[in-house]
Amino acid sequence: MTFYLDPEVEFRHKNFYCLVICIVTTIMVKHGKNIDVNPQFVSEYCTMSGANTFTEKAITLPVNPGATVENGKVRVIELLKIYIGLEVDTLAEDGYVAAQLTYKTQSSLAMTEVAKWLYYSKRKMQLITSGGIMYNVMDVVDFTDGNGNGILYGSQFLYFGVWSSGQGSVCIGNIKILYRFKDVSVEEFIGMTQQQ
């Protein structure tokens, strides 16, 4: 048995659903909810300037800090995940490799300055013989909570640093940052930037 919906009733239903979607979207925008549901990537790499030399690269994020958008909101970045890998051509025995992602520019590893970093990893590499080739397993750091909310970040730059010790060649760090945009109140933006 086939049922047909009256065209007039079907039209009213479609209009009702469109109206509900418009109302929900308007509420989300007015209350600063995240309506950018499609995350994007920014990718970067950092090659050490010399073997066993700390080197840092500034990562430019696609946001204009402090610029207001609709309804007096400020657009910021919501950091969701990072993917970091280190690559060394020739490993020496008992050497170290390290990487970090920080809010502020650094001149060395910032392990003791916890307030400045988002990510820090230092690994000791042990080989039976020197001269081996190593491609580090990629680290994945998830910044989201149980509801999928990430870390809000109000600046235009993050700083990616790589370092090694006891190595005969330079280390290359690769990073991918998964993010999306979010609009927040001016008060929330000021509080965020003061903390970062």
Q: Is position 26 within any domain?
A: no
pLDDT in tens, the chain (196 residues): 444 444 444 444 444 444 333 333 333 444 445 556 789 999 999 999 998 899 999 999 998 877 777 788 888 999 999 999 988 776 666 778 889 999 889 988 877 776 688 888 887 766 555 555 555 557 999 999 989 899 999 889 999 999 988 887 888 999 999 999 998 888 888 777 766 6
* Alpha-carbon dihedral angle through residues 77, 65, 32, 142, given to the nearest 10 degrees: 20
Domain membership of residue 104 as a residue range: 36-195
Q: Is position 104 within any domain?
A: yes
Q: At 83, which CATH number?
A: 2.60.120
- Mapping DSSP onto H, E and C, the string for the chain reads CCCCCCHHHHHHHHHHHHHHHHHHHHHHHHCCCCCCCCCEEEEEEEECCCCCCCEEEEEECCCCCCCECHHHCEEEEEEEEEEEEEEEEEECCCEEEEEEEECCCCCCCCCCCHHHEEEEEEEEECCCCCCEEEECCCEEEECCCCCCCCEEECCCEEEEEEEEECCCCCEEEEEEEEEEEEEECHHHHHHHHHHC
Q: What pLDDT does residue 91 have? A: 64
Q: Is position 42 within any domain?
A: yes
State the total domains in the chain: 1
Q: Is position 165 within any domain?
A: yes
Q: What pLDDT does residue 9 have? A: 45
